[in-house]
Amino acid sequence: MNEIKDIDNFYLKQEEPVRSCLLALKDIILSQDAEITNVLKYGMPFFCYKQKMFCYLWIHKKYKQPYLGMVEGTRLDHPKLIVEKRSRMKIMLFDPNEDLPIETIEAILKKAINLYASGEIKLK
């Protein structure tokens, strides 16, 4: 029960419009597949697909923008995903004052789910 509260607190302590952006992203992620669960890891909302770390939400330190981090980003090829200085993950930044590109987000998430579901990424 505490974990849910901690996750809720993560969102609640964000300023608007970042809070609304992150909450909308959470809903989009969770709506993609019944196997996706939301947990708090490393102080941030992580989403797991069949208990395997899948993606996460965070706020970019430099740009102060919310982003979606894809754990297996190096295996995903999409022009909206950026690498920065990460070896494995890619991120997609969002301007919280603009509408979310829902179709693009869903396309990236579906590619990732297919990667996990295909067995390319070993599930526990």
Q: Which residue, 69, 4, 11, 71, is CA-closest to 40?
A: 4
Q: Note the pLDDT tens digit of each residue in 60-105.
A: 999 999 999 999 999 999 999 999 888 889 999 999 999 999 999 9
Q: Note the pLDDT tens digit of each residue in 27-69.
A: 999 999 999 999 999 899 999 999 999 999 999 999 999 999 9
What per-residue confidence (pLDDT) applies to 3? 54
Chain length of the chain: 124
| Comparison of pLDDT for 120 and 3, the residue scoring more | 120
C-alpha torsion sign, points 99, 104, 110, 111: negative
Annotated domain spans of the chain: 2-117
Domain with residues 2-117, CATH architecture: Alpha-Beta Complex (3.90)
Q: Note the pLDDT tens digit of each residue in 1-35.
A: 455 578 889 999 999 999 999 999 999 999 999 99
